[in-house]
Structure 1
Amino acid sequence: MKVRLKTKEDIERIREAGRILAECHREIAKLIGPGITTLEIDAFVESFLEKRGATAEQKGYHGFPFATCASINDVVCHGFPGNHKLVAGDIVTIDIVVGKNGWMADSGWSYRIGQVSEEAEKLLTNTEQALLAGIAEAVPGKKIGDIGYAVQRVAQAASIGIVKPLIGHGIGRAMHEAPDVPNFGRPRSGVTLQPGMVITIEPIFTGGDTGAVLWEDDGWTIRTADGSMGAHYEHTLAITEDGPLVLTNGQ
């Protein structure tokens, strides 16, 4: 699949969707806590986006039935929202793709529910740090492998697992475009980054050091094979002459 470079105008349109998405995550952070259900969060997100003339692009994507992916504790990705009430100590990842005027932005974020364990805090902190390390490598002339290597080094230093089948990707008119952006790699390998590329970087780590996962029978929900917790942090960003431009941080 060919990489589709975006114009500055295209990037601004993706950024518009990204601002809505960032605002949505800020509101989720206010709502989320012990006693709420992920189904209630899902309903809030769908209503929030509708009021802003935006759409939740996951809903209906290959039959996915919800506006968000809501992944609790050992679910690392693509979890279904449900009626189970969250309790203190949980980790919950809310992953959302927003569409606005034909352009998309994607961001997932892991939330602490009350006080979490020391192990969970280590996982969350390092996964977010890996996202920042990957973003720092997203400059013209670098390679996709440089991003993956930066993400990988954080996981290895912390002795936590990388979920290797789950990767970042290009995004724009479609939810998933070229290039793939793995969370591991070799420096100076892979596709060369150039201005106009828009990608997601999304480390998905596990508390256990293998990163091994299992798919459930629903075809979507992905759990850690060892029962450890999972964490997921994701931004959409553009490669520009001036460096990485994060499009889902509300700026």
Structure 2
Amino acid sequence: MPFDASGHLIPGPVGAERPVPRHIPRPEYVGRPGPRRSDRGDVYDFGEVARIRESSRIAARAVEAVGAAIAPGVTTDELDRVAHEFLVDHDAYPSTLGYRGYPKSSCTSVNEVICHGIPDDTVLRDGDLVNIDITAYVDGMHGDLNKTFLVGEAAPATVDLVERTREALNRGIKAVAPGRQINVIGRAIQSYAARFGYGVVRDYTGHGVGATFHSGLVIPHWDDPSATTVMEPGMVFTIEPMLTISGEERWDLWADDWTVVTRDRSLTAQFEHTLVVTERGAEVLTLP
């Protein structure tokens, strides 16, 4: 079981890559070291948003399917199996699979893992929390979200962290409006998290998404004065705050070059939606 004597995670063996039926279209980066550069931009028309909405809904339903399988004694690799099978059963390609060499169809980030946890033989324990991050690629478009789940009966402080991180995302979404600068999103999130002494991870952010998995658009979750891009109708991106219970903002990266953990190994939670800027605010696309 990949926990050390202090109860902190250590890397476990990663199982084989799961196959995707040949009839399901792959993103352009599969089989390559990384994605091709794109100058496509982040504003989409009505028909394109409809396609992103479809991929987003499939991803959201996959997250719910995985959530239903979470329980003490279940491995994170088993959760990845559920995610993978749901996606391919709906003719969707798991966007993470083969992205810059990532070996799995979802990210499963347990306890102190901020993001990008690779599913392995980690056995979930009563009281843990686990974030499930899934992106679906359908009809040339990616839809991306994540959600943090409690495993069994969690401590009140853990429950609070999860619920407050969910609310931080909601507040970030409510700040979205055409004509506003991107930094209002992080300002809303950071001011809310500060009420509880939580840290906001700064180096991992939201991003443009749609025709590309990650565009060059960056959505900080803190009040970054340099984030002056002005939102406009049709702009599609993710908001995905990562909050730490101890206030720690620093992180360490495992040798796998993916798994990001809090420097002090304190608990962290995250929630994410893909959304489109509308004339009045935002429409969340990643709803089941």
Give TM-score, length-normalised by structure 1.
0.96
| Structure 2 match to 1:9 | 47
1:84 is displaced (CA, Å) by: 2.1
Aligned residue number for residue 161 of structure 1: 199
Structure with the larger strand share: 1
Question: What does the per-residue CA deviation read over 1:35-69, in whole Å, with 9 as the maximum and x for residues that have no partner?
Answer: 11110110111111111110101011000000011
Distance 1:164 1:218 in 2: 21
1:128 is aligned, of 166, 185, 194, to 166
Report the equivalent of 1:180: 218
Contact map agreement 2:42 2:237 (CA 8 A) in 1: no
1:28 equivalent to 2:72? Answer no
Matched residue of 2:180: which SS?
Answer: coil
Shift of 1:186: 5.1
Q: Is the 8 A contact 1:205 1:230 kept in 2?
A: yes
Cα deviations by residue, 1:64-121 (Å, 9 ceiling, x for unpaired): 0000111111111111101122111001011111100110010011100011112212
Task: Map Cα deviations across residues 1-38 of structure 1 (whole Å, 9 max, x no partner).
Answer: 67431001110000000111111122122111111111
| Amino acid corresponding to residue 133 of structure 1 in structure 2 | R
Query: How big is each residue's C-alpha offset from its partner over 1:101-142, in whole Å with a ceiling of 9 and x where there is no partner?
Result: 110010011100011112212211111111000000111111
Structure 2 counterpart of 1:50: 88
Q: What percent of counterpart residues are identical? A: 35
How many residue pairs get aligned? The number is 250
Q: Does 1:112 align with 2:150?
A: yes
Q: Match of 1:214? A: 252
Residue type matched to 1:29 in 2?
G
Structure 2 residue identity aligned to 1:204: M
Pairwise mapping of residues 240-251 of structure 1 onto structure 2 (< 5 A)? 240-250=278-288
Gaps of 5+ in 1: none
Distance 2:176 2:286 in 1: 15
Cα distance in 2 for partners of 1:73, 1:210 equals 14
Find the residue that maps to 1:115 and give its secondary structure: coil
> Are residues 1:193 and 2:231 paired?
yes
Q: Which runs of 5+ in 2 are unaligned?
A: 1-38
Report what 1:18 is aligned to.
56
C-alpha contact (below 8 Å) 1:143/1:188 kept by paired residues? no
Larger helix proportion of the pair = 1
Tell me whether 22-31 or 50-59 shows the greater mean CA deviation.
22-31
When the two chains are superposed, the root-mean-square deviation of aligned CA atoms in Å is 1.4
Matched-pair contact (CA < 8 Å) for 2:63–2:133:
no
Divergent runs of 4+, >6 A:
none
- Cα displacement string for residues 135-189 of structure 1 (whole angstroms, at most 9, x for unaligned residues): 0011111110100100111111110111110100010111111320000125896
Q: Is the 8 A contact 1:146 1:187 kept in 2?
A: no
Which structure has the larger Rg? 2
Q: Which amino acid counterpart does residue 44 of structure 1 have in structure 2?
A: V
Alpha-carbon distance between aligned partners in 2 of 1:190 and 1:101, rounded to the nearest angstrom:
32
Task: Determine if the alignment matches structure 1 residue 205 to structure 2 residue 261.
Answer: no
The one-letter code sitting in structure 1 at the alignment partner of 2:179 is G
Against the structure 1 CA distance between its residues 62 and 187, is the aligned structure 2 distance closer, same or farther, given a 3 Å change threshold?
closer
Higher relative contact order (CA 8 A, sep 6+): 1
